[in-house]
Amino acid sequence: MKKVLFLCMCVIALASCSSLDQKSQVGIKGNWTISQVSYPGSDYIKVTSFDVADSQCFVGSSWKFVSNNNTGEMSLAKAGCPSFTSPIVWSVTKEGAFTLKITEGEKAKRVSQGYYLQVRNQTENSFQLVDKVNVGGKTVDVVYQFNRM
């Protein structure tokens, strides 16, 4: 999971200073669940997602995205995994970069670190967020499959 320090300031103080993709953001608006976390082309790997929990703990997690102010909430409640709920701030750039801040109740401008992922295969009822992680010197994709609730 690539955790990055946000250095630029934008309209909503997120990672990318390039223009936002309003169509993609409106398409993501609503309530979603992660139905699968996969590692295409790789065997099972252990990844701690978003510095919260093992990536497989995110299967079944609930996500709410509000597009008019780029806020929302994510919540984990899978058995055998830590319970976790936090407000989020997010955006999608025209280049397909998804920026995410997990604010844990702090004001977004006080949260200086977040995550860059790529939006892929977006439809009305599903989309993927893809993270690139380094495993033993090799870059591996971690694919989070979102489905509309």
pLDDT tens column, 130-148: 999 888 888 899 999 999 9
pLDDT(18) > 90: no
Can you give the chain as a three-state secondary structure string? Answer: CCEEECCCCCCCCCCCCCCECHHHHHHHCEEEEEEEEECCCCCCCCCEECCCEEHHHHCCCEEEEECCCCEEEEEECCCCCCCEEEEEEEEEECCCEEEEEECCCCCHHHCCEEEEEEEECCCCCEEEEEEEEEECCEEEEEEEEEEEC
Give the per-residue pLDDT at 134.
85
pLDDT(14) > 90: no
pLDDT in tens, 100-122: 999 987 777 777 789 999 999 99
When mean pLDDT is compared over 40-44, 45-49, 90-94, the highest value belongs to 90-94
Calculate what percentage of the chain has a pLDDT beyond 70.
Answer: 88
pLDDT(3) > 60: no
Give the per-residue pLDDT at 147.
98
pTM score, two decimals? Answer: 0.85
User: CA 149 to CA 141: how far, in whole Å?
Assistant: 25
